[in-house]
Amino acid sequence: MLKGKKVVLGVSGGIAAYKACALTSKLVQAGADVTVIMTTSAQEFVTPLTFQALSRNPVYTDTFDEKIPEQISHIDVADWADLIVLAPATANLIGKVANGIADDMLTTTLLASEAPVYIAPAMNVHMYAHPAVQENLKRLEAYGYRFIEPGEGYLACGYVGKGRLEEPETIVSVLEEQESPFLPLKGKRVVVTAGPTRERVDPVRFFTNFSTGKMGYAFARKAKELGAEVTLISGPVSISEPLGVKVIQTESAHDMYEAVMKELPQSDIVIKTAAVADYRPATPLDQKMKKKEGSLSIEMERTTDILGEIGKAKTNQFVVGFAAETTEPITYAKQKLIKKNANAIVVNNVSEAGAGFGTDTNIVTYINGSGLEWNLPLQSKEDVAYQILIQVANELKDGHT
């Protein structure tokens, strides 16, 4: 889908600039015509000659270095581009673009261009999470900019967390998906639940589980990429909100139940990945419980079965439930499919390596009411979400409700 596309690659000054070299090569291999613009800081990490050799095109570094007298470089490049990719996009570059600052070749070109712009952030985990950076990202989203979210892992600064520039292969894959007309969920409203719930014992204690929300957040991001209007109903997690997605923050099972039932009537697809508590303290205390001698007993009561209530209330919604099991996962999933009146159940054995809570990967089986039993081997949660959403889109197209 990138063959013949004229791509401007904007490289700003972060250690991830070295990945932009590989990205340039991958884009050229995909058939794109690539022109690179570098900031002054980017040249501290990689030389323009490297990008010139990889792109086979001149590299722009200075607004006032007019290579062709008959043209104004930043206007000419802006008009030439079919799409612009900022990779890596540092906090500084994001801040400048969000606030309309144009003080170098890259930012002046951005302001002058009407081409789609894709931003691939890369920075320290704390910088990425800073309110100013998050506010700038939201402003750019409102302007229509598109994002390739950073990955999680070991960063050059020594921290481990979100902020690593996505791999070049993934960036090219995202560009190919976005620049193609393949949006099977366009016009669909998707509701995703994610993360754990917290059931309060007293003002300082609560019952919860090990869910991190990674699977649900992956579904929200992928559904958005596939054209859907997405609402993410999230329990307490430490994950950045997906851009372009409406997020409703909840705490308890009751909070999540109320939010889901409010969104259900206007939804087309419900993906319920949240690990909701089955029980809560019958009588939460207003004051902190004091430590006493001996054992402690807390009376628990059932929470509302959210998936079961969705199954009762749904009209034409396609409902996908999740089941985290440790024994006989397929047997329990098939029982849950019928009992909850769901259209499909995605089940995993959380005792398997790579399939438990908190991992970046999953191993699941998709079971639907037509008898399909589809095994998805170990892969990233992003890939799991993408494949299941495509399956759901196909079943809706075929009239399965």
336 is known to lie in a ligand binding site? yes
Question: Which DSSP string do the residues of 273-292 spell out, in sequence order?
Answer: --B--SEEESS--SSPPPP-
What letters, b where the CB count within 10 A reaches 16 and e where it falls short, cover 246-279? Answer: eebebbbbbbbbbbbeebbeebbbbbbbbbbbee
Q: Is residue 332 part of a domain?
A: yes
**Helix segments in 99-183, DSSP class H:** 105-112, 125-129, 131-143, 168-178
**pLDDT tens digits along 15-37:** 999 999 999 999 999 999 999 99
pLDDT at 113: 95
Predicted confidence at residue 310, as pLDDT, reads 97
Average pLDDT, the chain: 92
Backbone dihedral angles phi then psi of residue 121, each to the nearest 5 degrees? -65, 150
Predicted confidence (pLDDT) per residue in 308-318, tens digit:
999 999 999 99
Residue 66 pLDDT > 90: no
How confident is the model at residue 155, as a pLDDT?
55
At residue 197, the pLDDT reads 97
Residue 340 labeled ligand binder: yes
- Structural domain boundaries enclosing 310: 189-397
211 in the same domain as 154 = no
Whether residue 229 is found in the same domain as residue 376: yes
Residues 374 and 313 in one domain: yes
pLDDT at 274: 96
| pTM greater than 0.85 (yes/no) | no
183 within a domain of the structure (yes/no):
no
- Please report the pLDDT score of residue 209 as a whole number: 94
Residues 162 and 273 in one domain: no
pLDDT for position 156: 59
Same domain, 161 and 290: no
Note if 157 is an active site residue: yes
What are the C-alpha distances in Å from 365 to residues 196, 236, 373? Answer: 21, 26, 7
Verify that 137 and 277 share a domain, yes or no. Answer: no
Residue pLDDT, tens place only, 217-238: 999 999 998 999 999 999 999 9
H or E stretch including 259? helix 253-263
Question: Which residue type sits at 1?
Answer: M
Give tens-digit pLDDT for 314-351.
Answer: 999 999 999 999 999 999 999 999 999 999 999 999 88
Tokens 């979210």 belong to residue? 149
Q: What's the confidence (pLDDT) of residue 165?
A: 87
Centre a 10 Å sphere on the Cβ of residue 369 and count the other Cβ atoms it contains.
15
Q: pLDDT band for 70, please (50, 70, 90 cuts).
A: confident
Q: Are residues 214 and 309 in the same domain?
A: yes
Structure tokens at 119: 């931003």
Same domain, yes or no, for 279 and 387?
yes
Which amino acid does the sequence have at 231?
T
Residue 334 annotated as binding site: no
Which pLDDT score, from 0 to 100, does residue 240 have? 87
| pLDDT given at position 262 | 97
Q: Catalytic one among 1, 30, 157, 264?
A: 157
Average pLDDT of 45-71?
91
Kindly report the CATH number assigned to the domain that includes residue 262.
3.40.50.10300
Query: Do residues 198 and 226 both lie within one domain?
Result: yes
Beta strands of 116-222 (E only): which ranges?
117-121, 146-147, 151-154, 160-164, 189-194, 199-202, 205-207
pLDDT band of residue 182 (cuts 50, 70, 90) is: confident
288 belongs to an annotated ligand binding site: yes
- The count of domains in the chain is 2
Assess whether pLDDT exceeds 90 at residue 150.
Answer: no
- Would you place residue 158 in the very low, low, confident or very high pLDDT band (cuts 50, 70, 90)? low
Domain boundary residue among 145, 178, 211? 178
In a domain, 255, yes or no: yes
Give a yes or no: residue 184 inside a domain: no
Same domain membership, residue 231 and residue 84: no
Share of the chain above pLDDT 70, in %: 96
pLDDT at 177 over 90: no
pLDDT on residue 358? 85
Range 52-75 average pLDDT: 89
Q: For CA atoms 354, 274, 133, 125, give the dihedral sign.
A: negative
Residues 197 and 172 in one domain: no
Domain annotation covers residue 1 = no
Which segment of 7-16, 25-34, 65-74, 183-192 scores lowest on mean pLDDT? 65-74
Give the percent of the chain with pLDDT over 90.
79
Give the mean model confidence (pLDDT) for residues 67-88: 90
Tokens of 224: 């958005």
Q: What is the pLDDT of residues 347-375, one digit of tens each?
A: 999 888 888 788 899 999 999 999 999 99
Please report the pLDDT score of residue 159 as a whole number: 52
Q: How many residues comprise the chain?
A: 401
For position 72, what pLDDT does the model report?
Answer: 87
Give the pLDDT score at 162: 66
Assess whether 267 and 356 both reside in one domain.
yes
274-294 pLDDT, tens digit per residue, is 999 999 999 999 999 998 899
**Among 26-30, 179-183, 301-305, which stretch is predicted with the lowest mean pLDDT?**
179-183
- Would you state the pLDDT for residue 400? 62
In whole angstroms, what is the distance from residue 147 CA to residue 322 CA? 28
Residue 102: pLDDT band with limits 50, 70, 90: very high
Residues 76-97, mean pLDDT to the nearest whole number? 96
